[in-house]
Structure 1
Amino acid sequence: MSIEWQGVYPAVTTQFNQDGTINYESTQTMLDNLIQEGVHGIIVNGTVGENCSLRPEEKRNVMKAAKEVVDSRVPLLSGVAETTTQFAIEYSQDAEKIGIDGLMTLPGMVYRSTEREAINHYQQIARNTSLPIMVYNNPVTYGVDLTIEGMKVLVAENNIVAVKEATEDTRRITELFNAFDDRFIVFGGVDDIALESLMLGATGWISGLTNVFPRESVAIYELAQAGRYEEAREIWRWFLPLLRLDTIPTLVQCIKYAEQLAGRGSEAVRAPRMVLPDAEKRYVESLYEQALATRIDLSKYA
């Protein structure tokens, strides 16, 4: 399966009204703005999209709303985060019917799988949909590491085409290329090591803070792809304090509050998440204000 996934793919938030219902109009506006600002793809219903806080029909409706507004301008992927393999298969099949371009699959939720179980989970999803699949390897959050040996098993599944690598160990990127050459598309999945990941050969970056500063994220990617690393580092050093918010337990609340500060969305989240307490809001706000005060003129990199 030949798939051209590359570039900056924000894992987008799901926007809520104050009563907890989904604000589909606001969510669509946010997606349209991101595409107009140059992102190369969109991922809905990921961790940042609060997938596990959505009802089954809401997840499908988010995909439909995204499909409508994205309108084939960029690849549109959906996270697959279900409690059982069968539920994940059914979700993936519904995504295919809706017209989603691909899936970012997570291991089974709630139960912490062994690697053997996670491999079977991915195999069963792949064998029950024709959509291209990116496996999301995040042992820090989900407790199971899909090792190089595990990926050797998944080579046999032709529609498993990509890896979102989020072990926080950049050596794994080189190990993937050494083991598989270009068999898998490799995306960096941790915001605060994204530039290092791109320099090591990752062809894409799945990001949370891109929701707040999309143009800067795209500029980092494009400069890195062009080998203009000194210029990429200048933007990277400016961005890094905010990017560190992606690696803490309250990353969703931090990203959504930063979106609100930027006039790009609402901080509203669904329980058990709660909006940040005042002290943490002040910290996020200080990082955001510092970023605005020192924002780099991107035109000089044109």
Structure 2
Amino acid sequence: MTMLQGKLYEFQGLMAPVFTPFSKEDYSLNLGVIPAYAKYLAENGIKGILVNGTSGEGMSMNVEERQKVTEAWKEAASSTHHNIMVQVGGAPLPDVLKLAEHADRCGVDSLLCLPDLFNKPSSVKELLEYLQLVSNAAPKTPILYYHIPAFTGVNVLITELFSEAHRSNMVPRFAGAKFTYTNLEDGATSLRVGSELSGHSPYSVFLGSDETMLGAFALGFNSAIGTTFNILPELGKCILSSSTKNNFVQGQEHQWRLTQAVRAITKHGKWVPTMKAAMNLRTKINVGPPRPPLKCITLAQEDEMKLELARILSD
């Protein structure tokens, strides 16, 4: 557990939401890729890892598979010293509790949790009650909320969620959120919740939108979880470095290049299949195909993507 300036959990910098490697033959787990994958990220300056998130296709795996993936990344991190966050939501509550308990036993650094995807919470109080159940299954580990309205349909204000969590203390180990949304006003305001006495909020907020990194950093964010950190880690690091130095002109150039790259990748299909294809094309790590019902992009699309990325990144 990381303690910094009164926060229950904080990770400053860039965290990669890692892909889950599947075999091309039967879409089974290919865990043998993970040690080299972890080493590649460490060598490229990525110090944190989110396991079983959206990019990791956590919701396409059963409980046993998700546990095996967590264990494999935890083992790899014993050598690379990555900070490990594990996403445990997106399943029936009994399975979510099993995943939370398992991650807690594994000694991960934090949990991330989606809301219930069928019985969606209609208020921040209902959401906190759900997170309370999950957190109770993991008594040693901080828990963060995974805010991704485009996928979940749950669009609470994170500022209100933090305010209620701070007021009620319903979830003592509640530590913040992954903010995968473009309402930077809410995100920036949430950074200040609970800071009245110490000057520092007890909550950590991870930006989850690759295309708005520079704007978020300018508003006070200090950490991000971005799929492109797997594929183009140097651009994420340049954006963060530029903002830290208040060199926003240079930061705009890096941000525009990253945004162009995201557009060149995702124009060929859905987020995970296209990002996995880009990972396989641009790096030495082959994470295999996405798991059905997601579909691989075509060879022609891969060729076009490869050429366009080469042009964007060489300009």
User: TM exceeds 0.5?
Assistant: yes
- Give the equivalent residue in structure 1 for 2:141: 131
Q: Contact between 2:211 and 2:255, CA under 8 Å: does it hold in 1? A: no
Which segments of 5 or more consecutive residues in structure 1 lack a partner in the other structure? 295-302
Paired residue secondary structure (2:175): strand
**In the alignment, structure 1 residue 41 sits paired with structure 2 residue 57:** no
2:280 and 2:287 in contact (8 A); partners too: yes
Q: Deviations over 1:131-151 (max 9, x none)?
A: 011211111221112323233
Q: Name the counterpart of 2:155.
A: 145
CA distance in 1, matches of 2:222, 2:210: 14
Pair 1:277–1:120, CA change in 2 (3 A): farther
Paired residue secondary structure (2:24): coil
Aligned positions of 1:1-302 closer than 5 A: 2-19=8-25, 20-71=27-78, 73-115=81-123, 116-129=125-138, 130-147=140-157, 148-155=159-166, 156=169, 157-181=171-195, 182-244=201-263, 250-263=270-283, 264-277=285-298, 280-294=301-315
Structure 1 distance, partners of 2:122, 2:81, is 38
8 Å contact from structure 2 (residues 109, 142) kept in 1: yes
Question: Could you list the per-position Cα deviations for residues 246-270 of structure 1 after superposition, in whole angstroms to 9, with x for gaps in the alignment?
Answer: 7997110111000111133244111
Residue 272 of structure 2 aligns to a residue whose secondary structure is: helix
Q: CA RMSD in A?
A: 2.2
Q: Relative to structure 1, is the Cα distance of residues 229 and 40 closer, same or farther in structure 2, using a 3 angstrom cutoff?
A: farther
1:209 to partner: Cα distance: 1.0
Task: String of CA shifts for 1:234-253, please: whole Å, max 9, x gaps.
Answer: 22222111234579971101
Relative distance call for 1:131 and 1:247 in structure 2 (3 A) is farther
Q: Is the 8 A contact 2:33 2:287 kept in 1?
A: no
Q: Distance in 2 between matches of 1:124 and 1:283?
A: 47
- Structure 2: gaps spanning 5 or more residues: 1-6, 196-200
Going from structure 1 to structure 2, the CA distance change for 1:282 and 1:170 (only over 3 Å counts) comes to farther
TM-score by length of 2: 0.86
Q: Is the 8 A contact 1:96 1:131 kept in 2?
A: yes
One-letter amino acid of the counterpart of residue 108, structure 2: I
Q: CA deviation at 1:5?
A: 0.9
Letter of the structure 1 residue corresponding to residue 146 of structure 2: Y
> Shift of the alpha carbon at 1:86?
3.0
TM-score when normalising by structure 1 = 0.89
